[in-house]
């Protein structure tokens, strides 16, 4: 049996601003943008063709709105793996990504925490 995580939901404030940030700033691909109703869309972005994807779900209740940018209670929410930390860190800085720390070189690899447009924290990570 083969299993893997295919998609993770990320609650966002607005579909279009989220698509713009993830595709233009992080360089992700827009995999899907399908209208489901007048106010709901199926929006999927991904850094690569294969592997986990993000379902961008626009908040539509007060509870969902309050979770935008804080889906993990302040912990790092997502991990963006790279095969070239220096290249991607530099590219992301030039694109305006806000890093919360300088790069660290740990026993497991190179890492730096950054925020997405809503304040969710991510690790940019190159494993050894």
Q: Are strands 121-127 and 76-81 parallel, antiparallel or unpaired?
A: parallel
Predicted confidence (pLDDT) per residue in 50-105, tens digit: 889 999 999 999 999 999 999 999 899 999 999 999 999 999 999 999 999 999 99
pTM of this structure: 0.92
Predicted confidence (pLDDT) per residue in 21-58, tens digit: 999 999 999 999 999 999 999 999 999 878 899 999 99
Q: How many residues does the chain have?
A: 128
Residue 1 confidence (pLDDT) = 79
Domains, in order of start, for the chain: 1-68 (3.10.180.10), 71-128 (3.10.180.10)
């Amino acid at each position: 049996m083969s299993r893997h995580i295919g998609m993770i939901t990320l609650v966002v404030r607005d579909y279009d601003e989220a698509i713009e940030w993830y595709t233009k700033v992080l360089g992700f691909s827009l995999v899907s943008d399908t209208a489901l109703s007048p106010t709901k869309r199926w929006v999927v972005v991904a850094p690569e063709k294969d592997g986990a994807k993000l379902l961008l779900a626009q908040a539509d209740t007060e509870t969902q709105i309050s979770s935008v940018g804080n889906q993990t209670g302040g912990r790092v929410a997502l991990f963006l793996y790279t095969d070239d930390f220096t290249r991607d860190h530099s590219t992301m800085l030039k694109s305006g990504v806000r890093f919360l720390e300088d790069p660290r070189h740990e026993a497991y690899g190179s890492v730096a925490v950054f925020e997405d447009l809503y304040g969710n924290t991510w690790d940019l990570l190159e494993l050894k």
